[in-house]
Structure 1
Amino acid sequence: MERSLTHIALFAALIAILGLVPPIQLSFGVPITAQSMGIMLCGTVLGAKRGTLAVLLFLALVAAGLPLLAGGRGGLGVFASPTVGYLIGFVLAAFVTGLAVEKTTLPVGVAAGAGALIGGVGVLSVSGILGMAVMLDKTVGEAAYLAAAFLPGDILKAVLAGFITNALARMRPASVLSRA
């Protein structure tokens, strides 16, 4: 139990640290950030349950007003902005990514990369598109067109998450809790 709490807190901190990477601001209010890779790693390394709890802890700290999102954003206002779909999607993406890694018998690196693509790119994109459509008063098609700017970077982050998880599994197999 204590080990799980430590991992959850460490991965919430990892997401926050990735927010220090300067974001690329886009005209429609949703920045390109490194934090989605932290979400993917929560699922690939911690698994569905612990990864989701790490993301929920991170979002609770953001809601409490800590400026942990890329660009120093925080507070309840971010949940009423064009990024709301992505913030909600963080939770879903970590869960689906973790579940994909836990339930497959593929080698850990392949499973992590595939899980990150399914959860961290697919699920997160759908949630983000729906949030942008509502908050920007756009059609789903228009929001999907805007969200296409994220795809190349998100695919790269998913591949990196697969490599990082595989390297971690090779160095310290017991640390990849999604396969424990």
Structure 2
Amino acid sequence: MIIIHGFIEIETQYRDYTDPYEIETISIQDKILSIRSIEKDTNINTLTINRECHGYRGLHNFQFLIDYFSKQPNVDFYMLSQCLKRYQEFLKEVKKSQINLLSLINQKIISKNNIVQAINDYEVYFFEQVKSHLSDDDFIVATFNALNLEIQEVEPRRTLFTQGLLSLFGIEINQEQEILHQMINLHNNLGKERVEAALNMLDYY
């Protein structure tokens, strides 16, 4: 299991597991990102997880993974190599933007406090927009990521789940202890489905 920038987990062997508690199925992300608090909105049936980061955020350069998967005799692995390649190029552009922003802050053209306030304001706006467009039948997960200026890394801050999506995993929105237990055990034992999940995540970039 390898984690690349953005807390995206990539496995070099997507094999099937029979035991859901095998050590290999434990998410690296769950070890790094703890749940600080849970917010329930019963008016629109959503659950929001507030997270806190405690460690390594992932590789910026993962050309070795691109090379590895491109050589595997498997269509899914070839698609994964192409998605990783696009994501690698995307990260290069993101890094340039971060460098430019930090340069403006260092030159005192932009105040760090103003940037932090802008991020906080946009976070509020982001979730207001998500919630205003929800219906009871939606299967949605929305995550807000923000640049941490102190460590110069992007990290997740809040993730919203709709009740419909939670129901797919057998989670009831009114059972807080069950939510805490199951949110750290949502791992698929089938390798093909974990590959597809990685492809779907990378396909956004």
Q: What interval of TM-score do these two structures reach, taking the shorter chain for normalisation?
A: under 0.3
**Structure with greater strand percent:** 2
Q: TM-score, normalised by structure 1?
A: 0.24
**Structure with greater helix percent:** 1
